[in-house]
Amino acid sequence: MKILAWIFGTLVGISLLFMIVQTLASERVEVVQLHTLDDTGEVVTTRLWVMDHEGYQYLRVGADGSGWYSRIQANDKIELTRDDSTKTYTTKNRPDKSQLINELMQEKYTWGDTFFATLFGSRDGSIPIELHEVEN
């Protein structure tokens, strides 16, 4: 019985440690809130990393896609909250900037970017998404 309790405690401890490292890796540097619409018209908020380059903001999606990216493809007009300011943008996929944006994100997010690349696969094939502000 002591062995089972030890194994269970070890697994719980490892899980908690992993959750702490994952949170630190993703939230310790700038994070923005992306607001997209799902199929029913409900707003879905996703926390993401952002990179500035040559006057544009960039998000990045992995080669295998994600739910938030699918919602952008369905309706490329999005809202983004950054520094307590929410603005509306249109999006443009920029696969030609993949290597550059990957390098810039690695510089900005350091070991957090490396952690997620190791956990979920390399950044090869990732797609930078360029944001164009919609003037009201």
Rounded distance between C-alpha atoms, residue 75 and residue 42, angstroms: 13
Q: What percent of the chain has pLDDT over 70?
A: 82
The answer to whether position 14 is within a domain reads: no
Q: How far is CA 110 from the centre of its chain?
A: 14
**Number of domains, the chain:** 1
Q: Which residue has the tokens 């390098």?
A: 103
SS3 of 50-106: the string is CEEECCEEEEEECCCCCHHHHHHHHCCEEEEEECCEEEEEEEEECHHHHHHHHHHHH
Of 51-55, 120-124, 125-129, which range is least confident? 120-124
CATH of the domain at 125: 2.30.110.10
Above 90 in pLDDT, residue 118? Answer: no
The answer to whether position 20 is within a domain reads: no
- Domain of residue 51 covers 30-133
For range 107-124, the mean pLDDT: 76
Q: What angle do CA 32, 93, 66 make, to 5 degrees?
A: 60
The answer to whether position 13 is within a domain reads: no
The answer to whether position 2 is within a domain reads: no
The answer to whether position 125 is within a domain reads: yes
Of 26-35, 49-58, 69-78, 110-119, which range is least confident? 110-119
Above 70 in pLDDT, residue 9? Answer: no
Name the pLDDT band for 25 (thresholds 50, 70, 90). Answer: very low
CA distances to 16, 25, 123 from 22, in Å: 10, 5, 17
The answer to whether position 107 is within a domain reads: yes
Average pLDDT, the chain: 85
pLDDT at residue 57, rounded to an integer:
98
The answer to whether position 44 is within a domain reads: yes
Q: What percent of the chain has pLDDT over 90?
A: 54
The answer to whether position 92 is within a domain reads: yes
Q: Is the pTM of this model over 0.75?
A: yes
